[in-house]
Structure 1
Amino acid sequence: MAKYLISFPARAMAVPAEDLAAVGEAAREVIREAKAAGVYVFGGGINDNVAPLMVASDGAVTNETYPQTEEFDGGFCVLELPSHEAAIQWAAKIAKACRCSQELREFGYDPES
């Protein structure tokens, strides 16, 4: 089975403040369903209150990030699924719950992960 990253940037979730609680509960319900199905690996949201750091190969740390990830925020989950079609179905469930489109990416196979 392959692992899939399902994610969205924070700006994609344009939900009225009065709907946030319902959206959060709907998203948690999909995650509970994924856990019950045994496909959930990990998930969460990027803490935008903590700045990213760049850690170099020599251990040096700087307050920066790769330019293409300056706006890497929002939520994500990793699911382990039997097919690309199953991943699309789960991404659709999450998109419906979160009321925003989800990006779907497949991890490369690693026999030790």
Structure 2
Amino acid sequence: MARYLISFEKGAMDHIPEEDLGEVGKAAHAVCEEAKDAGVFRFAGGLSYDDGDVEHAVVGTDGMVMDGPYPESKELIGGVLVVEVPTRDDALVWAAKIATACRCAQDVRKFMHDLELIE
């Protein structure tokens, strides 16, 4: 079994009208519940960038803390789903389900297998 990170970029859901966000949330939760029932769910969540109590920071190798994204950083992540499945094709099936629920494309990446870190 391998773990896959299924994610979308911050702003990927900006095209969704505010009145539809509740429905999108319910659909996304339904996919997560389906993944739990299938025994493949490991973690899911959205990242907050707008909450005044949550600040994005980058900690450098020297321990220096910089507020906000690192200047050379790529797109920020908006939300994630981690599944543990037998094949990449299985991960793509779950990515398609969450893409439909969230109404945005999903990026799929396999975690490197490290027996010392994976439960």
Q: Same fold (TM over 0.5)?
A: yes
1:9 equivalent in structure 2:
9
- Determine helix, strand or coil for the equivalent of 2:25: helix
Structure 2: tracts of 5 or more residues without a match? none
RMSD: 1.6
Asked whether the 8 Å contact 1:55–1:61 carries over to 2, the reply is yes
What displacement does 1:68 show?
Answer: 4.2
The C-alpha deviation readout for 1:50-81, integer Å capped at 9, x for no partner, is: 22222234433232433343641311111111
Tell me the percent identity.
50
Asked whether the 8 Å contact 1:23–1:97 carries over to 2, the reply is yes
1:30 equivalent in structure 2:
31
Asked whether the 8 Å contact 2:7–2:77 carries over to 1, the reply is no
TM-score normalised to structure 2 length: 0.85
1:94 aligns with 2:98: yes
Asked whether the 8 Å contact 1:47–1:73 carries over to 2, the reply is no
Structure 1: tracts of 5 or more residues without a match? none
What displacement does 1:43 show?
Answer: 1.2
The 10-residue stretch of structure 1 (91-100 or 53-62) with the greater mean CA deviation from structure 2: 53-62
